[in-house]
Structure 1
Amino acid sequence: MQINYKLSFTLEKNFIYLIILALLSLIYAPVLFHWYDGWLNKSIGIEHEYFSHGIIGIPFAFYIVWNQRKKWQRLPNQSHPLGFILLIIGSIFYLTGVAEFVNLSLPIILTGLCLWLKGIAGFKLNSFALLLIALATPTSFPYLITPFTLPLQKFIAGFAGFILIQLGMDVTVEQIYLAVGGRLVEVAPYCAGLKMLFTSLYVGLMLLYWTGNIENRKKTTLLLVGAALISVSANIIRNTILTFFHGTGRDQLFTWFHDSWGGDLYSALMLASVVLLLNFLDQIESLKSQ
């Protein structure tokens, strides 16, 4: 009898949240399914693959919100007018049916709900979770910055050519092209490593929050700068290996490393090195405090 009373009281107390959760699930479940299906099966647009870090980031954001539910309940019910405005904008974006706007409507509506239900305090409480969702929302941003990646493409091509020359290979570098063994290899805009860079920075942010270091500015700066350097270095090595495979006629290995799970394994090792970097920074800090 007491259990039924507690269950009834809990449902009554959280009725509005259950309704909101049900509506959000009904509206955005197909959208999230489309994102995850595209990320996992690589059937989504190449620009949207840049946001595949959302595979782990979005569940982690929901985990953060769930862990903070008691703090949320203790906040006073105080609406902020900006919340209503964002809810209207997010709804309009969703109703347009344009993929870009539909995607953007999710973080906009979630932010609007935080402000509408709990005001600025609610927004601050869930700001990091909202940031993770926003940074995992597929947009055209990678496409917009593609024209500006040429210097990075040239740098990668030149460095990869330098490494291969040191290995005794006959390599000619021209702008973003490498000629190896009569075969031409292009360091294309989407091979410039931006996806790896976005992923490493995103995972770095998650690690900083998970370990409680997100408010440590020095460690945050060192980790994110280090993650960026790791990403750029790993991409140079990756392009060097791909050029070697293609230039020496090892087409199966090229396909495995470029399009198959070989590339995923390489990315996983790169992200593991970001974790090791954070452990290294923790060890240095503990030594200094002794």
Structure 2
Amino acid sequence: MQVGLKIPKTLEPHLLSGAILAFLTILYAPLLLHWYDGWLHKNIGIVHEYFSHGLIGLPFATYIAWTNRKLWRRLPDKADPIGAGLLVMGGIFYLSGLNDWVNLSFPVVLTGLCLWLKGFPGFKLQAFPLLLVLLASPTSVPYLIEPYALPLQSFIAGVAGFILSQFGVNVTVEEINLYVGGQIVEVAPHCAGLKMLFTSLYVGLMLLFWTGALRSRTKTILFLLSAALLSVIANIIRNALLTFFHGTGNQQAFEWLHESWGGDFYSACLLGLLVVLINLMEKYFPTDLDESEQPQVEEL
């Protein structure tokens, strides 16, 4: 008598999903832990900290992918050859050992899996969480942008100096340097607000998606421009405060706002303003032309 073990067809998709999840966990759990350790403890390069918005972005991307699971299962299995190419590319990136390439292999492999399993419809369904993962994957892109930040540094230094002078502070501005009380504060590239700007735009995308305003091109552009403007204004005020604290010898307050949890608290307040801004936008501009002209799409 021969006894065979047959796996029910209803369990096959779950086994495949479990195998893929286990494989991704083995490959990328150490990498993700490395990212989070660097973001939380700031014990890694300054460029890595530019992507600390991934602290909330990656869990949010996971949440979106999870809520799409029923729609994902209903999509027909359709392998796209581009997906296979991306999987090979992601494997090459991972095995290269180069930091940027290893980091980028994560969104590349995830995108490849979507295309390989469900084709373009699967990629389209998971496009936004994939975008969040890509924008949270640390690379050297900030280093490439910093050389072009000099006009922004000069602008921030000039406006910060103007604000301090209005409060009777004897301040001298020379290009990107501010002098107060014989002390100098330099608006360095990483002090020009690029990290705050990146975080504001990233969280802005999350808020647009959460409220559904991302469907409107007009609202999206208006909100992201407002978020960028708020970020620049907040950074000007922060640099003015840092200059005042340093110039008046209040080193404790300077270090609190510059390197301690004060900077994180300041950034959190800015992100809170973005929440207020998106709520005001939804209140006073509930609909617009972009949304009214879009056809209604029923869920699968």
Q: Does 1:85 align with 2:85?
A: yes
> What amino acid sits opposite 1:24 in the alignment?
L
Q: Percent identity?
A: 62
Q: Normalized against structure 1, the TM-score is what?
A: 0.95
* Counterpart residue number, 1:187: 187
Deviation at 1:228, TM superposition (A): 0.4
Aligned to 2:202, the other structure's residue is in SS state: helix
Q: Does 1:275 align with 2:292?
A: no
Q: Output the CA distance in 1 between the equivalents of 2:13 and 2:164.
A: 66
Q: Output the CA distance in 2 between the equivalents of 1:195 and 1:91.
A: 30
* Counterpart residue number, 1:142: 142
User: What do residues 192-250 of structure 1 show as CA deviations (whole Å, max 9, x unaligned)?
Assistant: 00100000010010011111111111111111011000000000000000000000000
Deviation at 1:286, TM superposition (A): 4.2
What do you get for the CA RMSD once the two structures are aligned?
Answer: 1.6
The answer as to whether partners of 1:39 and 1:55 remain within 8 angstroms in 2 is yes
User: What do residues 31-73 of structure 1 show as CA deviations (whole Å, max 9, x unaligned)?
Assistant: 0000000000011210010000000000100110100001000
Q: Output the CA distance in 2 between the equivalents of 1:217 and 1:91.
A: 36
Unaligned runs of 5+ in 1: 1-7
> What amino acid sits opposite 1:193 in the alignment?
G
Deviation at 1:9, TM superposition (A): 6.7
What count of residue pairs does the alignment treat as equivalent? 283
* Counterpart residue number, 1:238: 238
Q: Output the CA distance in 1 between the equivalents of 2:288 and 2:209.
A: 22
Q: Output the CA distance in 1 between the equivalents of 2:74 and 2:183.
A: 65
Q: Does 1:117 align with 2:93?
A: no
Q: Output the CA distance in 1 between the equivalents of 2:191 and 2:56.
A: 23
Q: Output the CA distance in 1 between the equivalents of 2:13 and 2:79.
A: 18
Where in structure 2 are the equivalents of 1:166-205 lying within 5 Å?
A: 166-205=166-205
Deviation at 1:97, TM superposition (A): 1.2
Q: Output the CA distance in 2 between the equivalents of 1:20 and 1:108.
A: 15
> What amino acid sits opposite 1:234 in the alignment?
A
Q: Does 1:152 align with 2:162?
A: no
Shift in alpha-carbon separation, 1:264–1:79, aligned structure 2, 3 A = same
* Counterpart residue number, 1:5: none
> What amino acid sits opposite 2:96 in the alignment?
T
Aligned to 2:285, the other structure's residue is in SS state: helix
Aligned to 2:173, the other structure's residue is in SS state: strand
Q: Output the CA distance in 2 between the equivalents of 1:288 and 1:205.
A: 18
Unaligned runs of 5+ in 2: 1-7, 290-300
* Counterpart residue number, 1:214: 214
Q: Output the CA distance in 2 between the equivalents of 1:232 and 1:52.
A: 18
Aligned to 1:238, the other structure's residue is in SS state: helix
Q: Normalized against structure 2, the TM-score is what?
A: 0.92
Q: Does 1:250 align with 2:254?
A: no
Q: Output the CA distance in 1 between the equivalents of 2:196 and 2:266.
A: 10
Q: Output the CA distance in 2 between the equivalents of 1:13 and 1:159.
A: 59
Q: Output the CA distance in 2 between the equivalents of 1:288 and 1:193.
A: 32
Q: Output the CA distance in 1 between the equivalents of 2:227 and 2:163.
A: 22
* Counterpart residue number, 2:3: none
> What amino acid sits opposite 1:192 in the alignment?
A
Aligned to 2:222, the other structure's residue is in SS state: helix
The answer as to whether partners of 1:35 and 1:44 remain within 8 angstroms in 2 is no
Q: Output the CA distance in 2 between the equivalents of 1:282 and 1:268.
A: 21
The answer as to whether partners of 2:216 and 2:288 remain within 8 angstroms in 1 is no
* Counterpart residue number, 2:68: 68
* Counterpart residue number, 1:55: 55
Aligned to 1:14, the other structure's residue is in SS state: helix
Deviation at 1:100, TM superposition (A): 1.1
Q: Output the CA distance in 2 between the equivalents of 1:287 and 1:246.
A: 47
* Counterpart residue number, 2:12: 12
